[in-house]
Amino acid sequence: MAKKNGSDKNINRTIIQYFEWYVEGNHVLWNKCRAQAPRLAEFGITDVWLPPAYKAGFIEDNVGYAVYDMYDLGEFEQKGLLKTKYGSKQEYLDCIKAFHDADIRVLADVVLNHRVGADEFEDVSAVKVDPHNRYNNWSDPYTISAATVFNFPGRNGKYSKFTWNHTHFTGVDWDNNERQTGNIYRFADKNWAGDVSNEMGNFDYLMGADVDVYNPEVKKELESWGKWYLDLTGVDGFRMDAVKHIGASFMKEYIAKIRDYKKDRDFPVIGEYWHGDINVLENYLNQIEGCMSIFDVPLHFNIRQMSYADGNYNMADIFNNTLIQRRPQNAITFIDNHDSQPGQSLESFVNTWMKQVAYALILLHKDGIPCVFYGDLYGIPNTRNIPIPRLRTLIRVRHDFAYGEQHDYIDHYDVIGWTREGDDDHPDSGIAVLLSDKRDGMKRMYIGKKFAGKCFRDCMRKIREVVTIDDEGYGDFTVQGFSSAVWVTEPAYEYLVINED
């Protein structure tokens, strides 16, 4: 069966987040990427989201979100090491080339909101604010010692002469005079950005030294960095971190300038706006005029709730109040990620038994672009989470066979399903999917008259009986309780069995 991948717009896209919070350090990830790229492409991955590639502000084994120097991709002796957690600059460039050689698009993780690990302190007039409502002042202005001088002595001006001081930030969470944790300080001559999340009163501040993206010098520098990064790395898209903490008007303008520079209006950008209320997400998409996709956090929470409900969840409601329902063109669906995994700040991990069902849901439904989590594909040794069985098979089914008109049967408390009729561009395409969160079930579903007399088999390998499609294009498809069944044509089934991991 001929394989087409990232450059073919007629192929279903599947992203993989190629890291988890505890992924092995020791500078090996970029080399692992280079080795695994052909394998990922072979079973249907089209896009890979890589972690932040620049030098972090503290300790070697840092995921990268505590960003220190965005120009240091593991090239300079800074913060006590040369390489980043994941490897050297050259190893990063080599892994991007390996993905491109495998026809996989690369999405770079872009962290614009904050800086951590300043080189010097400076005295700044600031106001201590209520951490739970940042509009409430807890003090009059007074002088603090703020970690806001970033002059990058190890890089010594290479790539950019720009250095940072307190005028480029709006606030910090540390006064080196008081040396107390848990406080937030807004600089007396600054205001929080108004077009951010209204959580905590105003959620401009997240961590470290909060970047003032509306400072003209900062805007110019961030645009210069973006152009430098694109020219150097050749990445194909951005995953924007923490966008609910960054002014919406800045973000819309920044993305437009990046796309203008790339001369590519379709340059993919995915934003992380962590909120479970669909109305909040829709409001943000309206603010930015839909210029990026965002993660479907409400769907993640629906799936998690279902996974712990012991069968007492109405599966017919699974898509209610989600992006995939309201704004499918902007929806990036996911089950878990590095923030929701056990031990992290946004921990909301989906119950393991539900993972295969959940991946069938996001990978095989026509709406949204799914993002597979590294920890679900490979496991998470640190927290003893196992790889999800037959996840690669589900990705193959999406890539090769999940095409054509969809017919939904999302109409039952315990068992839901849908079919895809297939199309002429994808040989042997056409699928039927059934999902159960409790009991065995059966649905008579239409898959198309062209399949009359043809046999379908469950590639999840749980149901041995064959389903024969009748003259009207219907089949009686079944599923075991607490399980998923994915029915494909016999030639597709044989191909999947041969290539099963």
| 8 A C-beta contact, residue 419 and residue 406 | yes
How far is the C-alpha of 249 from the C-alpha of 370, rounded, in Å? Answer: 27
Q: What residues does 164 pair with on adjacent strands?
A: 150
| 8 A C-beta contact, residue 368 and residue 332 | yes
Q: Could you tell me the two tokens for 373? A: 């989590």
| 8 A C-beta contact, residue 487 and residue 497 | no
Give the active site residue among 109, 221, 236, 272.
272
Read out DSSP for 464-500? -SPEEP-TTSEEEEEE-TTSEEEEEEHHHHHHHHHT-
Helix (H, G, I), strand (E, B) or coil at 317: helix
Geometric angle at alpha carbon 136, from 130 and 141, rounded to 5°: 90
Helix (H, G, I), strand (E, B) or coil at 312: coil
| 8 A C-beta contact, residue 155 and residue 78 | yes
Q: Is 77 a catalytic residue?
A: no
Q: What residues does 283 pair with on adjacent strands?
A: none
Q: Is 94 a catalytic residue?
A: no
How far is the C-alpha of 92 from the C-alpha of 458, rounded, in Å? Answer: 40
Give the active site residue among 119, 221, 241, 414.
241
| CA nearest neighbour of 314 among 246, 428, 410 | 410
Residues labelled catalytic: 241, 272
